[in-house]
Structures are given as structure tokens and as C-alpha cells.
Homo-oligomer: A and B are copies of this chain.
Amino acid sequence: MDDSVVSAQIRAAGVKVTPGRVRVLVALLAAAQPLSHADLEALLPDADRVTLYRVLDSLVACGLALKAVDPRGVFRFSASSTQREHSSHIHFRCTYCGGVFCLKAAPPPPPKLPRGFRLAEVEYDVRGVCASCAAHT
């Protein structure tokens, strides 16, 4: 995704266009899965830690990004426009290298819930060892 397009999206969202916001949103748009603060720090080594938290919060506040907790209790961020692409995947997480792989198979249909329960999201995570890590051990 082009920087100028991303800048326009940020401007359209009603907040200032800053280099930090552009770089973070570009990274989120390019990411295959939601990124943690630590992921983004690694991708953008020059960014200030606190500014990064604030940039992420501002993107969430203006609707350009989504914030969720992962099973480890860490916040992960995704660009709003890419969220839908990954809601219909199964993710395979390699417990050795930490990599996340999108499997082709469609996730199973959501189960029936007891009366009064409201469904928000379904997560189907498969864990194990990926092919390259399996080959190394």
C-alpha cells in the first residue's frame, strides 16, 4: 500500500498525518496477522516506545486500527481494513519459532450457544511445529 494512500486515509479519519502514524499504519496493512507493540518496535527500530503506544492508541481511537488481547494477554493491533481478510482463516502457530501461518482451510462453523450468550468472535488456533523447524530438530 502506497504511503500517499495511507496518508489520505489518516487525514480522512480526522487526525493529523504524521510520519509515525503513516509508518505504523503501513506496517499494520502489510502484516499477515495482528502485530504486538513488540513486533512493531522490531519493524520500526527508530520509533520511540511511548510514541508507538500513543500512535497505536490514536489509530484505534479514530477507527483505523483494531486492538485485541491475544491468549498471552498481550495487545495486538491490526488495520481495520485488513481485519476481515483474516477472520476466515485458521492460524497455525509454531511453538518453536513463533511463526504464524495462515492455513487454507475454512474455519468450522460457530457452535450453538446457550440462551442469552452473545457471540463476538471465534478463534481457531492450531499449534505445533512448522515444517522448517521440524526439519531442523
A1 is an interface residue with CB less than 8 A from chain B:
no
Q: Which of B73, B111, B115 contacts A126 (CB 8 A)?
A: B111
Known contacts A73-B75, A112-B105; is-contact A117 B128 (Cβ 8 Å): yes
- How many residues of A are in contact with the other chain, CB < 8 A? 39
For A6, what are the chain B residues with a Cβ–Cβ distance below 8 Å? none
- A residues in contact (CB < 8 Å) with B: 69-75, 90, 92, 95, 101, 103, 105, 108, 110-132, 134-135
* Given contact pairs A111-B126, A122-B125, a sample of 10 additional A-B residue pairs in the complex whose CB atoms are under 8 Å apart: A108-B124, A114-B131, A115-B131, A117-B131, A118-B129, A118-B134, A120-B129, A123-B125, A123-B127, A125-B125
